[in-house]
Amino acid sequence: MSRITKILGAFILTLLSIKSFAQGTSSKKSNEVPKGWHLMDKEKDGQYGISLNKAYDFFKSKKLKSKQVIVAVIDSGIDTLHEDLKDVLWVNTKEIPGNGIDDDQNGYVDDINGWNFLGNKNGKNVEQDSYEGARVYHALKSKYEGKTIDINSLSEDDKYEYTMWKKAKEAVMGSSEDEGVDLYFLKKVVGASKKQDSILKKAMGKDIYTGNELDAFEPKTQAERVAKTSLLSLFKGNNMMELSNKEFIEGFEQYLRGEESKAEAKEKAPIPYRANVVGDNEDDINDKGYGNNNVMVSLSASEHGTHVSGIIAASRGNGKGVDGIADNVKIMMLRAVPDGDEHDKDIALAIRYAVDNGAKVINMSFGKSFSPHKKWIDEAVNYAQSKGVLLVHAAGNDHKNVDSTDNFPNPLYLGSGKQATNWITVGASANGDPDQDGFTASFSNYGKEQVDVFAPGARIYATFPGGNVYRSLDGTSMASPVVAGTAALLLSYFPYLTPEQLKECIEKGAVSPGQKVRKPGTDQMIDLSEISKTGGLLNAYESAKIAANMSPQSKNENSSKPTLKNKKN
């Protein structure tokens, strides 16, 4: 599911529950947040960012030189022509572009900047897809529906499958207490928004306008005032003031289509979007080599991945748009996340591709509630761990506790009780403004055991498809690349660090906000340590100081126990 649709959906659910369009306006002040606040420093800039410039000053004071690091971004795609990204794209120098030959014999033809696992050799691509819950429910319905199952007699694999199917059934069919979304009212709201948009376009004399431009617009008639108030409530309520009316309305309609699809899923199986295009055997992990080398596909498809990539690595110091976090990295794009839920096979193979082609950090800003082929993911994660690759994953945007709520992929190996040591799960922080979200983004998932650290994820300004376009977006999808970028930065200056050492640097470098924070989705004020392992906010400078005191590990050392040099900075 796209970030715009998911956050919009959360707001619309609140809107529907109160059955009042005007009451959807956010009660919080719409204070401007500085562009790039996530890179700033509390003492110098008054923003609870990651103190990035202090980290660079530290590297300079130590006379350190960086070594290039490849960061794989498993996502929706990337604008390969963007002014701030085209120079940081990973290039597979072992391939001859466009000759139709697998020159490096890695199984992927002309994979110049990465690979698209959501396409076929004829150039067709998957953009929209269904949700995993519906896929699981209908795929296993004939096996379990209406049958008496003795769960104790099942194998571990079958037990996992049956339990997953029961959860999928409840998700698709709903529980007795679940009233679901009022589709009739939602359609009315969408229709009203389109009508108000039409009024405003005529009144403002332009077909495209942003939420900020709408906020500044002075209506002259009652109809214009009503239209402005109603539509502005949605822009502000979703913190999407820089989004255009076109993108916002399209996202609203997309959310409606998604809810209609969920309603249809109660009666029939979802459309097999991926199967209709890709042509592989999705149930065979050894059926590889499918897809194509188009890692952009379209502007709309590449929105999420472009933004994520820019947070990590937008060209620094070029005077354009924004600066990424890491100054000596290359972005390898692995397109495996559609508008809908990703497929386990694509993610597992994308992880393996990244590892085999030199990536040392992998960012994963996606997630879902069901994982029918989790063993494939686990095997890929274990493979990455064996090759010294760090995985960074977004915690999710449902303001839920992921210690007790399924959120896949995750570092917990199925059936063993063990956990991957090369994995960081990231919650989203805000800039500390008490009139906004405070220190924690209201949408962020959390977990004392499973969320390692909180990092900036609200109103993050970065690259957007269009060649020279930039936007502010919200989500743990934005927080994850802030951590991935920081990890890559540390690794570029300390290339001997293991994934476990990188994780240690990031965790021990996290800084407590020094006061209570809001539990996401509530008004309850708690210690950050109650909803994350570290109880801290990411800080690149503090992590850099810790990294400088870490020694290279010998091969016989336990990689999960980083060692510190016995000296002070």
Do 113 and 166 have their domain in common?
no
In-domain check, residue 203: no
Closest CA to 307 of 182, 416, 459: 459
Among 144, 159, 179, the domain-final residue is 179
Q: Are 498 and 563 in contact (CB under 8 A)?
A: no
Residue 253 lies in a domain: no
Which secondary-structure segment (H or E) carries 146?
A: none
Paired tokens of 501: 């050492």
Residues 164, 121: one domain? no
Residue 553 within a domain:
no
| Residue 350 in domain | yes
445: domain CATH number is 3.40.50.200
CA–CA distance, 161 with 370 (Å, rounded to integer): 10
Calculate helix-pair angle for 3-18, 245-264, nearest 10 degrees: 70
Q: Per residue of the chain (569 residues), what is the pLDDT tens digit?
A: 444 444 454 444 433 332 322 222 233 344 578 999 999 999 999 999 999 999 999 999 999 999 999 999 999 999 999 999 999 999 999 999 999 999 999 999 999 999 999 999 999 999 999 999 999 999 999 999 999 999 999 999 999 999 999 999 999 988 645 555 677 788 888 888 999 999 999 999 999 998 889 999 999 999 999 999 989 988 887 667 877 888 888 888 888 887 887 788 888 999 999 999 999 999 999 999 899 999 999 999 999 999 999 999 999 999 999 999 999 999 999 999 999 999 999 999 999 999 999 999 999 999 999 999 999 999 999 999 999 999 999 999 999 999 999 999 999 999 888 999 999 999 999 998 877 778 999 999 999 999 999 999 999 999 999 999 999 999 999 999 999 999 999 999 999 999 999 999 999 999 999 999 999 989 999 999 999 999 999 999 999 999 999 988 754 454 444 344 433 33
Report whether 440 contacts 520 (CB < 8 A): yes
If one counts the domains in the chain, the total is: 2
SS3 502: helix
From CA 408, how far away is CA 406, in angstroms rounded? 6
SS3 506: helix
**What is the rounded distance in angstroms from the CA atom of residue 553 to the CA atom of residue 169?**
48
In a domain, 43, yes or no: yes
Helix (H) or strand (E) holding 362: strand 361-364
Burial (0-12, 13-18, 19+ Cβ within 10 Å), 13? middle
CB 423 within 8 A of CB 393: yes
452 falls within a domain? yes
Q: Based on the domain organization, do 281 and 420 belong to the same domain?
A: yes
DSSP SS3 for 229: helix
| Tokens 């992990």 belong to residue | 285
305 lies in the same domain as 280? yes
Quote the CA–CA distance of 438 and 203 in Å, as a whole number.
36
- Domain extent, residue 287, equals 31-130+271-548
Q: Are residues 102 and 164 in the same domain?
A: no
Q: Could you give the C-alpha distances from 224 to 194, 200, 228, 237, in angstroms and in order?
A: 13, 7, 6, 20
Same domain, 108 and 141: no
Q: Whole-angstrom Cα distance, residue 217 to residue 212?
A: 9
